[in-house]
Chain A
Amino acid sequence: MRGKLLLRRLGWRLAAGAGVMWGAATFAFVTLHVTSGDIALVTVSANGSDPTEAVLQEVRRQYGLNLPLWRQYVDYLWKLLHGNLGQSYQQHIPVTSAIGMQLVPTLELAGAAAVAAVVLAVTVAVLTAKRRSWVRAITTGTELVLASMPTFVVGLLLLIVFGLELDVLPISGNQGWQSLVLPALTLALPISAVLAQVLQAQLEEVLEQPFILTARARGMREMSVRLRHALRHAAIQLVTMSGYVIGSLLGGAVIVESLFNRQGLGQIMLASTTDKDIPLVTGVILFAALAYVVVNILVDLAYTLIDPRVVTT
């Protein structure tokens, strides 16, 4: 029974995810076509040549740009399904390989930042929820400042302190784990501040519940009560923040990679925005939407593990 319900839930999530991806693809198609100017002209003249009308006609035929719009849309979706995101105007390579080349450094950065953010948030929240008022005042204040600080300011402060004054960590490049520390921390700190705020509020609510009193009455130690009983309930709230986290990671990557001069998707996004390289821009957007959908499905599965009640209702 439970397995069946779980499967049905997963099926619905997959269908919804596919729907979002179809919408994102449509958005990408519309973006490509509202671009002012002739796509054929942009494609050919990116390398500085001045093509004749005959050449343009040939390019239009070659890329199917002379077909009616609905045919182009169907063709676009069809190619997308086969992993073809088109050709970058500026780099003259397929968008998929442009993204593929830069994928790993950004995944490293985002992964490290996500882990750091969750660990920091959970530690701070578990240690400080319902503690003495001055402890709470300090953490609340720090969280507020960190959550308000734009990512580039966080990064610059870390860069100044650890990179320049103390000179213990490299401030740019992609070499080794040392160069990952400051960028990952920059991404992680604002996220962890937001997560800690939410988790703390949730923990304080849960710690008021009767079952916590029962656990304490059984002689359970405070830390065990917090970690084994309260945290599990509070974590549900954390799980629903995954959309915010993935958005901050990918959006923040643009700023962090630029600031620390790291290679990655963020740099691609920034360069293609400045160059008006729309196929590459929409490619990164589609990738971001895909990441959001996949993470949401995974998180939904995690949700059913943390709180078995959600499957049956």
Chain B
Amino acid sequence: MKNIRNKACAAALVLTSAFAGTGLTQQSGSDSIERELDTYRSMMKSDPWSNPAMLDVDRGEALWKTPAGPNNVSLEQCDLGLGPGKVDGAFAMLPRYFTDADRVMDVEARLLWCMENLQGFDRVKLLTRPHPSAGMPVKDLGAIATYLAYRSNGRSFSATFSHPKEKAALALGETLFFHRTGPMDFACSTCHGESGKRIRLQSLPFLSKPQEARKILGEWPAYRVSTAHVMTMQHRIYDCFWQMRLPEVELGSDVSIALISYLVKQADGGEIKIPGMKR
């Protein structure tokens, strides 16, 4: 046993000294890392058929069309802003103000509202652990949201933000994006306020720069290879809040919708290409 440990020590020493001599190459290696990562990403993207999120697009479609809940109705009467049951292009116009709910909603908040008010599901149950843990498939609401987003593929983000409440959500979103808070004194802009930043191998988009936001926003909901499930935008924000050690952000809450409004506004005109593929 002791012998093995000694050998391991020796090996570690050899490795350390090998790296000591290559300090320079490691520095200039960041470009080649980025290049290799791009190859990996383009391999994953090259065939949209290889994206497992497509399984959830199918599942979401079936869930949208199948009667469910205490009222046993399908979601086809759900108005996503273009009229009941109008799905094509609806996601591209969200978030928007809905008169019936008297608030601004993104696709997931709207689905939550429809599942509660049309199908009669219990809101509390829908909001209990609404996001999947690693390795588990996305919840029903997320699968339907992925399907709805998919039906706006090829279109551009074009939410208008003309209603006073839409303007208010946008303003709140912008404030929150730059507002440092919590035990770590983090803001969204701490990680997303500069080009070329990375956490481990995941590059971080500069989200208040329209050029970068346009490229990224249209890829959500996305399949995450590391957790083997689809992650929606509400889940992404929930996770960012957790990473910043802030109180849990509720799916469809005003805070989440304000931030999504701000991000969608930055991505205005960007193409929607659902589902994306992430690390």
A, B assembled together? no
